[in-house]
Amino acid sequence: MSAHRRGCPRRFDNSTDGFASYSDGKEHDQMAWLTGFPREKVDWFPTIDPEKCVKCGICMNCGQNVFAWTQEGARVVRPYSCVVGCQTCANLCLGNAISFPDIRTIRELYRREGIWAKVKKQLEESGKLKADPLP
Ligand code: SF4
Ligand code: SF4
């Protein structure tokens, strides 16, 4: 397990056209998402080491409601609501108690399943992006 420190927690609403939009009530461009690939097949969610958790509570700020608070501290209750690639809770965890899988496994999955290509195709088809081959 490596602790990569990138990402941003935002709430998304999946839509049928393969895009998702922010649901914070403001206007945003639509954001490419998993293009219909089942979220449950993406092995990306936080794991808490209870020995390291100092009950700071900052992980409860996750906009995806991945965590629930218990008498023993935070617990992961909705792992597949975690935004793939996000690691904000780990970045801010006071006890360095949160870890994620190696991001390279996700990048390998995206390449294997053609997710980058599908996202790009959707952007092109929606007129948001001019057709251009991936590098
Ligand atoms: S659980 Fe952590 S990594 Fe996942 S969306 Fe929430 S803040 Fe981001
Ligand atoms: S952010 Fe880390 S230390 Fe703080 S409550 Fe969550 S798991 Fe525990």
Question: Which residue owns the Cα nearest ligand 2 atom 3?
Answer: 53
Q: Could you tell me if residue 3 is inside a domain? A: no
Asked if 45 and 76 touch (Cβ cutoff 8 Å), the reply is: yes
Residue 4 included in any domain: no
pTM: 0.76
- Ligand 2 nearest atom to the CA of residue 52, by list position: 3
Domain that holds residue 79: 12-125
Whose Cα sits closest to atom 2 in ligand 1? 89
How far apart are the C-alpha atoms of 39 and 35, rounded to whole Å?
Answer: 10
For the chain, the domain total comes to 1
Does residue 134 lie in a domain region?
Answer: no
In sequence order, the β-bridge partners of residue 20 are: 14, 31
Is residue 33 one of the residues assigned to a domain?
A: yes
Q: Is residue 135 part of a domain?
A: no
Residue 127 CA to ligand 1 centre (angstroms): 31
Cα 27 to ligand 1 centre (Å): 22
- CATH number at 81 reads 3.30.70.20
pLDDT digits (tens, 9 = 90+) for 105-132: 999 999 999 988 888 888 888 888 887 6
Q: Has residue 83 been placed in a domain?
A: yes
For 44-100, how does the pLDDT look when each residue is reduced to its tens digit (9 = 90+)? 999 999 999 999 999 999 999 999 999 999 999 999 999 999 999 999 999 999 999
Does residue 69 lie in a domain region? yes
